[in-house]
Chains A and B, each alone.
Chain A
């Protein structure tokens, strides 16, 4: 464990380096291994504690679900933009948060920005509320419920918090 204090990050660095160079030649593999070992070793002292991913398979399913939602959200937003502007009913919504960790809130806020017709605008100081702006707000309670059920629950399960 001393050699690889952050095994997941090491793997990520290794893959990203090879992708950046778009090559799997021996020289780049040596260089990627060098970075994958030294960079985590250098920065491990200054990182914050993050919750561990407890259920990796659920995490992968979550990523796939979000990708699917991004595509549908794109089409929806595109239709809203082309459609008559007078019909749009924008609005601000406060969503009560159940996830407590910074990482969980960040992931939820990013997902909310990328997926349905919403952009996250701010988190309250006590980290209990996520404020979002909706492009077309029909039913506030329904929006809150869908965000909580569809995105927040799996995040809570993945990180076990």
Chain B
């Protein structure tokens, strides 16, 4: 395997790994479920993309033809991650999970759960 290819693969693996690590760290660290949702939907998408890019280069070199199968995984991830986050947020709202105390606009939570329009005095 040529040296430049090794560099590309290691760099994308490392970048992906760092983002995945930060994403998982966010799950442990952030105080409430609504904030925790942010780390898997964002930090992990780029992390997995990095790992998949590394796999694309490696497999293309190994098999001798361009392997773009991995793009499919990224595509499916981009379609499913927001939907999963949305369902988790909905469920948390229905269970009346307490947000962190400093959360702004907490009064909106009941409106959101009932899917009503927000009361007009809360809109700027």
Residues of A bordering B, CB below 8 Å: 16, 19-20, 22, 70-71, 73-74, 77-78, 81-82, 85, 88-94, 96, 109-114, 117, 119-126, 128-129, 131, 133, 135, 137, 140-141
Q: Are B78 and A114 in contact (CB under 8 A)?
A: yes
Subset of 20 A-B contacts with CB under 8 Å: A19-B71, A19-B72, A74-B42, A77-B26, A78-B23, A78-B43, A81-B43, A85-B29, A89-B102, A89-B104, A90-B34, A90-B103, A92-B109, A94-B118, A109-B82, A109-B86, A110-B82, A124-B116, A133-B35, A140-B105
Q: Is the CB of B38 within 8 A of A119?
A: yes
Taking a contact as CB atoms under 8 Å apart, the answer to whether B115 and A122 are in contact is yes
Flag if A77 contacts B103 (CB, 8 Å).
Answer: no
Interface bin, chain B: 35 or more
Partner of B90, one of A73, A93, A122, A128: A122
Number of A-B contacts (CB under 8 A): 145
Is B112's CB within 8 Å of the partner chain A?
yes
Q: Are A70 and B100 in contact (CB under 8 A)?
A: no
Complex partner residue of B103 from A82, A91, A96, CB under 8 angstroms:
A91
A35 and B39 CA atoms in complex are apart in Å by 37
Residues of chain B contacted by A140 (CB below 8 angstroms) = 104-105, 124
Interface-central residue, B42, B45, B85, by most chain A CB under 10 Å: B42
Q: What is the CA–CA distance of A82 and B22 in the complex, to the nearest angstrom?
A: 7
B83 is an interface residue with CB less than 8 A from chain A: yes
B residues near A126, Cβ cutoff 8 Å: 117
Considering only CB atoms, which chain A residue lies closest to B94 in the complex?
A: A122
Given contact pairs A81-B39, A90-B102, A135-B35, a sample of 6 additional A-B residue pairs in the complex whose CB atoms are under 8 Å apart? A90-B32, A92-B108, A114-B45, A114-B78, A120-B82, A135-B38
Give Cα distance in the complex from A137 to B38, angstroms. Answer: 13
Please encode chain B, from 20 to 45, with 1 for each CB lying within 8 Å of some chain A CB and 0 for all others.
Answer: 00110110011110110111011101
Select one of B38, B46, B83 contacting A117, CB under 8 A.
B38
Q: Which of B1-59 contact A (CB under 8 A)?
A: 19, 22-23, 25-26, 29-32, 34-35, 37-39, 41-43, 45-46
A129 lies within 8 A of B22 (CB): no
The answer to whether B104 touches A92 (Cβ under 8 A) is yes
